Amino acid sequence: MITRTAASVDTHFTSSRWQQILSSVVTDADELFHLLRLNPAEAPPHLEAVKQFPLRVPIPFINRIEPGNWNDPLLQQVLPIAQELAPQSGFTADPLGEQDKNVAKGIIHKYQGRLLLIVGTSCAVNCRYCFRRHFPYEDNRPNTQQWQSALEYITNDTSISEVIFSGGDPLAVNDKRLAWLVKSIAAIPHVTRLRIHSRLPIMIPQRITDEMLSWFTQTRLKPVMVIHCNHPNEIDQDVCTALQKLRDHNVTLLNQAVLLKGINNQLETQIQLNETLFQQGVLPYYLFLLDRVLGAAHFEVPECEAKQLVGEMLKHCPGYLVPKLAREQAGAPTKLPILPVL
């Protein structure tokens, strides 16, 4: 019998609390429906989709979803549906060709001057549009010796000035391991920036603890945090508190979003998202077209519509509140900008 309620997880900003929240993520669809007062009889077919890509949603995010609303834009990002299993022409398991750039365990080296470390192999949430939903994380769990090899790789390539923590979600990893890794990277003279890409400041904002801020901000490396926020409803008071803590420690805050059909492909939603982020000290960075990963075709917004949308955003907003529209393409030397239609 389900007894948990959406408000039943303590949400204080302490090291033990965020781990409790992470360990208590909802993985059962019936429990999710119960917490959101959704009638299971009205649920879209989902069981086979869950088998291919499990359901994972943390309680703080569930608390922001409107109860009883199957069309809530936050719910739509995490709800498994049968459409994920439909034939999808042009969609692949590795749309960015990352496995060809997976040069060693834990390392993806696609672009000049920067390198990505797969620090975390799991997330607090399974976003249904995730371009790494088929990534072989089981082959990218470096042990200590293999992490040393990764550090040697960075040391030997003096063109690398920025190291990017990704995953999975790097902030799902414990502070002790992350602190060791950051200290080791800071000892490499030609690395000047540490960038973290994470959904946890949104999903479990309690992750932004004093311990986390210590290892992230107290080295010579310039700290940059790219949060992944797609809709203004994702931002509540706890998220604002987490972002304030990061700002107070001089972290450069950027946001990248994915353009998702029926979720954030409306002008008003995009304007509100970027205005809200800016009020919290976060600059809009990228708005990506959907990466064409198997299972996510139903989220795709046509490029022509995306170009018109960003063109309208430019008419309504100052330039610094309009993210760069872009796509990632396998083998390209950079993310590919897409010019808006004005």
Grouping H, G, I as helix, E, B as strand and the rest as coil, residue 284 is: strand
Q: Which residue reads 């192999």 in tokens?
A: 121
The token pair that represents 308 in the structure block: 């018109």
* Residue 232 and residue 282 in contact, taking contact as beta carbons nearer than 8 Å: no
Please tell me what DSSP assigns to residue 293: B
Backbone angles phi, psi at 97, to 5 degrees: 60, 35
Residue keyed to tokens 């060791």: 180
Contact 24, 59 (CB under 8 A): yes
- What is the Cα–Cα distance from 153 to 147, expressed in whole angstroms? 10
Between CA 157 and CA 159 the distance in angstroms is 5
3-class secondary structure, 105: coil
Q: How far apart are CA 12 and CA 18, in angstroms?
A: 8
Q: Is 127 annotated as a binding residue?
A: yes
Note whether 105 and 146 are within 8 A (CB): yes
327 bridge partner residues:
336
Closest CA to 337 of 292, 301, 296, 307: 307
User: What is the distance between the alpha carbons of residues 244 and 239, in angstroms, rounded to a whole number?
Assistant: 9
Burial status of residue 251 (CB atoms within 10 A of its CB: 0-12, 13-18, 19 or more): buried
Residues 203-220 as b/e (b if ≥16 CB within 10 A, e otherwise) read bbbbbbbebbbebbbebe
Helix-strand-coil percent breakdown of the chain, rounded to 5?
40, 15, 45
Instruction: List the binding residues.
Output: 123, 127, 130
Q: Which residues make up each annotated binding site for [4Fe-4S] cluster?
A: 123, 127, 130
